[in-house]
Structure formats: structure tokens, C-alpha cells
Amino acid sequence: MFFIQISIAFKQLQNPEFMSLHNNTILYVRLLKESLSFALNALRNNKLRTLLSLLGVTIGIFSIIAVLTAVDSMDRKIKSDLSGLDKNTIYLFKYSFGPTDIPDWKVGQFPNVTYDEYLYLRRSLTNLDKSCFAYFTKRENIKFEKQTASDIEIVPSTNEIEIIDDVKVGEGRFFSEAESNGGMGVIVLGSEVATTLFGDMNPIGKSVRLYGQRYDVVGILKKQGESIFGSNDTRAYIPSNNFRRIFGDNNDALTPVIELKPEKGTDIDEFKGELTYKLRNFRGLKTSEPDNFFINVLSGFTEMIDNIVGQMNMVGWIISGFSLLVGGFGIANIMFVSVKERTNLIGIQKALGAKNRFILFQFLFEAIILSVIGGVVGMLLVWGIALGLSKALDFEFVLGFWNILIGTSLAAFIGLISGIVPAISASKLDPVEAIRSGM
């Protein structure tokens, strides 16, 4: 029955009336269907051999798509966390966000930015929208009666940080400018900190202890969830002037930072130039002396992240390429064996009028289908592991449409390349010799 169908197809191909585009399409659809049938038969009849041969493609596609999925998920999370921030926000302090030519020992000798410098820049800079003075500090414990919230990130800052860093208050309020300037003992707690200390009790108006001082709770932040840069859920904000009064301005264990947000539409290079000029003058630096501070623009940080993402993707492609190379040899091996096993059938097809192109496409389609099957298995593994890790780590790993398309296309390309030589050898078989060798 199978040979009769093939014979009819060949006669249609030879008849000029059936050489239209429509009938050619039908013929190749049939050809694709038969190739799929051969591929599935290879999987059923030679399970172990086919499985081992497809393993390379499966591992290669799994490796590439796993790396792309992990990197894309991380990139998506970072951009989501930064979505509320102005990309032109500047962080001015003694360290650089990215790599620098200045040696570490020399950077260590740079002076910290000061509150006086913050006030001077706030008054003198043109096109400045918002600015704040904050500290990078170590984690501390906060206490309320017998309850203790441990390992809390303390953020001493002026009140403008609420707008610059897009800090969202859920209950109560953020501390005011008067409380900030006066260094009042007020505190804004993250949601997890408030829950740990107060449970179901309303925290607003209650007092907690930090640094041996009493702080009145004026606000609770909205729940943020996990973030690449740390979560507001486990932070607490206090006025930087209160912090300065406790620890002073000359404490080397503390790192102050000035955050500056230019007005919309401001040329960032001109703004940086003015900032550099005015800070150098304030510090009394001579023309021959280099800058002893770093102007870190948030957009530069995101570009650095993009470069890291690109490098990680490249490393993933290089490592996975070896697996795909092995997988390609596996597919080629299957197809050479398939050609040998079906030599007699190829001879019969040619005797019935099959052209070399028909035989070529038949084996090419079969190689592509086998490779795509291996690739699909690899992507299913990535999808399963991504689901498991998303639940276990509370971090969303997403197998995106474009990664699926890349995986499928790559698997098909590997099948095409691997199947070319076996397909050509099958198409060039002499029909008489092919039938004789199969008898």
C-alpha cells in the first residue's frame, strides 16, 4: 500500500498538468508527513540508538536555552527593579560602580563626600530637580519591647530619597523635610520589619530602639518583594542628620553618598561637567590634580549590566556549541544508518520515478524532525527546571517565546547541516544497485 501511494505521487510529479505550485505544495506536505513517519519509526524501533544519538542535541539545546532563560530572567528582574528610577540619577561618592584605571589604594585615599558639599551643590547646581544625602551602613537590629528584627538594612538619608529612589509608603508617611533637617528620632520601616516587631498591631506612633536611641515609627513601606538590589521590605529609613549626630562626620566606617536627579531634558554630559567643576572648586583641587571622586550615572550602571548579560550569553553559546557539535554528529550517524537500512526502498522509489530531489528532501526532512524532537526535549527540561526554581527561590524564571523560537530554529538548523551529506549520498544511489544490495 505504501509503495502504491509513492507510485501515484511520482506519476503526479511527472504529469505536466500537476506541476502547478498548489500540487507541488501538496506533494511536499506528503513528503514531510512520510519523513515524520520514518523519524517516529526510528524512535520506536531503535529506542536506545536513537536516544543516544539525540542526547547531544538535547543537551546542547538545553544548555543554550537554560543560559538564555536564566540571563533573560535576571535582566528582566533588574530592569523591573530599576523601572521606577530615573536613568540619569547620579550617585556621587568616593567609589566607582564600574571598573576604573585608578588603583584601589589611591581610591581608598579619596575623601568622603560631606553634608556641606551636599548643601553647596544643592544651592549652586543649575537644572537640578532633587538631591539627597545618604549613607551606606552595616546592618543592625531593631527592637520593640521583647521583639527583635535582626539583620535590617538601615538607610540614613534626607527626605528627598523618597522621590529619587521611588520609595513607596503603604501606611503613615515618610519623614518630612523639617524632621530630616532637624535630625529628629523618626523611622520608616519596611513591611517585613514591621510585621516581625508588631505582628497585627498598628506600628504608627509606636517607638522602637536602634543604636541605643528611641525612634518613633511614622510610616510603613508597601511590600515590595525580592529585588536584585535588596528589598525595601527589610529596610528602615531614618534622617541622615540624626545619624550624623550619633556617629559624627569623620567616621571612616561609614560611606556617605550624594544622590542627584537632574531636571527632565537636561543634557547629562553638561550636568556632569558643571558638577565636576563646582565640586573641584569647593575642594580646592588644582588644575593638574585629578578628580578625587566618582560621578556614577545610573544609565552607565545599566549599560554595564547589559555588557555582563551579553558576555554571559556568549559564554553560554560557546560552551553549548560543543554539545551541539556532538549532537550534530549523532544526527548524521542516525541518517547514515537509515540510508543503509533503506537502500532497497530507495532503489524501488527511484525505479518508480522518484527524482534525486525527492529522495534528498525526504532524508533532510527526517534529519530535521529528529533534531527538533531532541531540541524540544531539551526545552521541556528547561521549562520544568524553571518552574521548580521559580517556586523554590521566589524568583521568576521565564522561558520566553523568543528563546523557544531560537531553540527550535537552532535544532532545525543542526538537523539540516547534519543530514545534508547522508541525504546527498541517498539521492545519488543507483536504483539498480540499490535494489540489488537490498536483496
Enumerate the β-bridge partners of residue 48: none
pLDDT of residue 154: 93
User: What is the predicted pLDDT for the residue at 49?
Assistant: 67
Residue 102 lies in a domain: no
Residue 198 confidence (pLDDT) above 50: yes
Same domain, yes or no, for 68 and 117? Answer: no
pLDDT of residue 301: 65
- If asked whether residues 120 and 232 sit together in one domain, one would say yes
Domain match, 115 and 74 both: no
Is pLDDT above 80 for 99?
no
Residue 288 has a CB neighbour count (10 Å cut-off) of 5
**pLDDT at residue 434, as a whole number:** 63
> Residue 251 is which amino acid?
N
Residue 233 confidence (pLDDT) above 80: yes
Distance from C-alpha of 419 to C-alpha of 364, rounded to nearest angstrom:
5
Is there a domain that residue 297 lies in? no
User: Is 358 domain-assigned?
Assistant: yes
Q: Name the domain boundary from 239, 267, 292.
A: 292
When mean pLDDT is compared over 266-270, 322-326, 332-336, the highest value belongs to 266-270
| Domain assignment of residue 106, yes or no | no
Segments forming the whole domain that contains residue 359: 2-79+305-438
- pLDDT confidence of residue 81: 64
- Which of 270, 292, 314 finishes a domain? 292
Q: Is the confidence at residue 7, as pLDDT, over 60?
A: no
Could you read off the pLDDT of 144-157 as tens digits, one per residue?
Answer: 888 899 999 999 99
Q: Where is the domain boundary, 292, 319, 342?
A: 292
- What is residue 185's predicted lDDT score, i.e. its pLDDT? 93
The owner of cell 578628580 is 291
438 pLDDT more than 70: no
Average pLDDT of 385-404?
Answer: 79
Q: What is the average pLDDT score of the chain?
A: 81
* Identity of residue 374: G
| pLDDT tens digits along 156-195 | 999 999 988 888 899 999 999 999 999 999 999 999 999 9
Q: Are residues 135 and 271 in the same domain?
A: yes
Query: How many percent of the chain have pLDDT more than 70?
Result: 82
Q: What is the pTM of this model?
A: 0.64
Mean pLDDT score, 35-62: 71
Max avg pLDDT among 13-17, 21-25, 262-266, 362-366:
262-266
The shares of helix, strand and coil residues in the chain, as percent rounded to the nearest 5, are 60, 15, 25
pLDDT at 6: 42
Q: Same structural domain for residues 158 and 23?
A: no
| Burial of residue 266 (number of CB atoms within 10 Å: 0-12, 13-18, 19+) | middle
Same domain, 316 and 273: no
Written as one string, the DSSP assignment of 72-132 is HHHHHHHHHHTTTS-TT-EEEESS-SS--SS-HHHHTTSPPP-HHHHHHHHHH-TTEEEEE
What pLDDT score was predicted for residue 371? Answer: 85
pLDDT confidence of residue 336: 82
Residue 397 has pLDDT above 70, yes or no: yes
In a domain, 317, yes or no: yes
**Do both 144 and 266 map to the same domain?**
yes
Mean pLDDT, rounded, for 4-16: 46
Q: Are residues 222 and 313 in the same domain?
A: no
Q: How far is CA 188 from CA 24, 82, 162, 195, 402, in A?
A: 73, 21, 11, 13, 42
Q: Is residue 299 situated within a structural domain? A: no
Name the band, by pLDDT with cuts 50, 70 and 90, for residue 215: very high
| Confidence (pLDDT) at 22 | 53
395 within 8 A of 77, measured Cβ to Cβ = yes
**117 shares a domain with 7:** no
Whether residue 116 sits in one domain with residue 61:
no
pLDDT at 109: 86
7-14 mean pLDDT: 46
Do both 249 and 367 map to the same domain?
no
Q: How far, in Å, CA of 15 to CA of 33, rounded? A: 22
The number of residues in the chain equals 439
pLDDT, one tens digit per residue, over 250-264 is 777 788 999 999 988
In this structure, is residue 40 part of a structural domain?
yes
**39-52: burial string, b at 16+ Cβ within 10 Å, e else:** beebbeebeeebee
Tell me the sheet residues that pair with 92.
Answer: 258, 295
Does residue 1 have a pLDDT over 50? no
- 408 and 312 within one domain: yes
pLDDT band at 227 (very low <50, low <70, confident <90, very high): low
Query: Is 54's pLDDT higher than 70?
Result: yes
Q: Which residues pair with 297 in a beta bridge?
A: 90
Evaluate whether residue 86 is within a structural domain. Answer: no
Res 8 pLDDT > 60: no
pLDDT(19) > 50: no
Q: How many domains does the chain have?
A: 2
pLDDT computed for residue 229 by the predictor: 61
Give the pLDDT score at 24. Answer: 59
